[in-house]
Chains A and B, each alone.
Chain A
Amino acid sequence: MTENSSSANEPRQPDSRVLTCLPFGEIFAIALKGLRIRIWRASLVISGIVLAVAFLTYILCGDGLLRGAAINGSAGLVERLTQDGLLGQADAADQRVQTFWIVGLATLISFVGIVNAMLMSVTERFREIGTMKCLGALNRFVLRLFLVESALEGAVGTGLGVLLGLAIGFGEGLTLYGGEVWALFSASRFLTMVAACFVGGVALTILGALYPAAQAAKMSPVAALRTEV
């Protein structure tokens, strides 16, 4: 065990010559410090996530409001929406296909945006990973470090993104159609949508970071050091 320095001073025995991974608390502290130092780069990555999630949330929000209006909107609202071409003009099947495509595209754009941001931000740190491995970092340490870092970035970015998306979605609805918009979402549908956006965003952020981090951790340190980005 090398949880503390004492093992370095004890006589070295074959069995004790194994490095163990740092405890999670310490990795968390290192990740937090790293994010603080890299704040501008991290902000850039986070803003990418914010935009992607905001876009998806906005689309889902608009879709949810329309569905809500179709079910329990007042007659006046439904008429205005129909006039604006948002409800009831084409037959229902057509409308479902259209919605499916819009939501699908929004999801895809968010997916690519988030994964791309994370891939880049980790790949540009391959040399750093190689250096750390030369200095005794375990693969597990590298993975956990990037797990914590990306989870933090993901939580902040996705949280802000959901808020931004909701603000724009509801803001648009309110300016165009007035206060009735508030009543269109049932609490459970609203929470499901927010949770889906949040969990999806964070999960994508972590996956986008862990994939390249795992690649780098698996490489020999020399190979990671040699990688040109």
Chain B
Amino acid sequence: MSADVIISAKGVKRLYVLGKEELWALGGVDLDVARGEYLSIMGPSGSGKSTLFNAIGGLDTPTEGTVTIDGHSTTDMSEGQIAYLRCMTIGFIFQTFNLIEIMSALENVTLPMVFAGVSQAEAAERGHKLLDQVGLTGRHDHLPTQLSGGQQQRVACARALANSPSIILADEPTGNLDLKTGEEIIALLGKLQHELGVTIISATHDHKMLAASDRVVYLEDGKVVDIKTRDQIKFSFGEVDGAVD
């Protein structure tokens, strides 16, 4: 990979204790993500991909190991630094959208800007632009419940972009969407990567997402079992389902 590494995970382990049972959801993961890369984390459910995803995003602290984002280790960060990271550096997209139900599309998109201290006028202007960008022009006043699943996920994409982050983390972004809508969201993420140079990391078991990825990390039982680059993915999947770029 290129020298410009934006996220680096070193020996990341995560232990879950459920009663008397101890479960290593991650058993020592090393992973470097290059700036501007579209990386997919693949694996069956229970393979630890969500755990790795959370550790990379600073949403959860690994039991052992370190995650370095933009040159700063998340384990040494103060609460204010972690909040800065989540607010300014990383944009999150979730399987269940996680929009705030009582807020309109525009208010959801501008919430991270409010946390960043952006003035209301500027936030509204940027929010409208972002909603245009994800194809939701004129929907700014709609509440999440008035939007379809695909539209809600678009709002979530716009929200993830609120403070122009350098990384977007998407956890199963197509998991709750039908085939066509899922493809639209994947295309949208690909567009964001190309146009804005955003690094995209997505945990998924959706094979459709592979076509858009630069690299795919395969996770099984909390360990990286394989890493494939774009060319290798095309080689192995291109003929099967005739995927075109």
Q: Report chain B residues within 8 Å CB of A30.
A: 114
- Judged by a CB distance under 8 angstroms, whether B85 is at the interface is yes
- Judged by a CB distance under 8 angstroms, whether A19 is at the interface is yes
- Judged by a CB distance under 8 angstroms, whether B45 is at the interface is no
Q: Report chain A residues within 8 Å CB of B114.
A: 22, 26, 30
Q: Report chain A residues within 8 Å CB of B136.
A: none
The answer on a CB contact under 8 Å between A18 and B98 is no
- Judged by a CB distance under 8 angstroms, whether A192 is at the interface is no
Q: Residue of B at shortest CB range from A136?
A: B87
The answer on a CB contact under 8 Å between B84 and A2 is yes
The answer on a CB contact under 8 Å between A5 and B119 is yes
Q: Report chain A residues within 8 Å CB of B115.
A: 19, 22, 132, 135-137, 141
The answer on a CB contact under 8 Å between A2 and B117 is yes
- Judged by a CB distance under 8 angstroms, whether A109 is at the interface is no
Q: Which chain B residues have a beta carbon within 8 Å of chain A's beta carbons?
A: 54, 59-61, 70, 72, 78-81, 83-88, 92, 94, 98-103, 111-119, 122, 159, 162-164
Helix, strand, loop or mixed for chain A's interface?
helix
Q: A47-55, A56-64, A97-105, A217-225: which one contacts chain B? A: A217-225
- Judged by a CB distance under 8 angstroms, whether A127 is at the interface is yes
The answer on a CB contact under 8 Å between B80 and A8 is no
The answer on a CB contact under 8 Å between B81 and A128 is no
The answer on a CB contact under 8 Å between B79 and A139 is yes
The answer on a CB contact under 8 Å between B87 and A220 is no
Docked CA distance A220–B16 (Å): 14
Docked CA distance A135–B58 (Å): 11
Q: Report chain B residues within 8 Å CB of A8.
A: 88, 116, 118, 163-164
Q: How far is the CB of B187 from chain A (nearest CB, A)?
A: 24
Given known contacts A8-B88, A8-B163, A222-B60, is B116 in contact with A136 (CB within 8 Å)?
yes
Docked CA distance A94–B231 (Å): 90
Q: Report chain A residues within 8 Å CB of B54.
A: 220, 222
Q: What 1/0 mask marks residues of chain A from 96 to 132 whose CB sits below 8 Å from any chain B CB?
A: 0000000000000000000000000000000110111
The answer on a CB contact under 8 Å between B88 and A136 is yes
B78, B94, B112, B122: the one within 8 Å of A136 (CB): B112
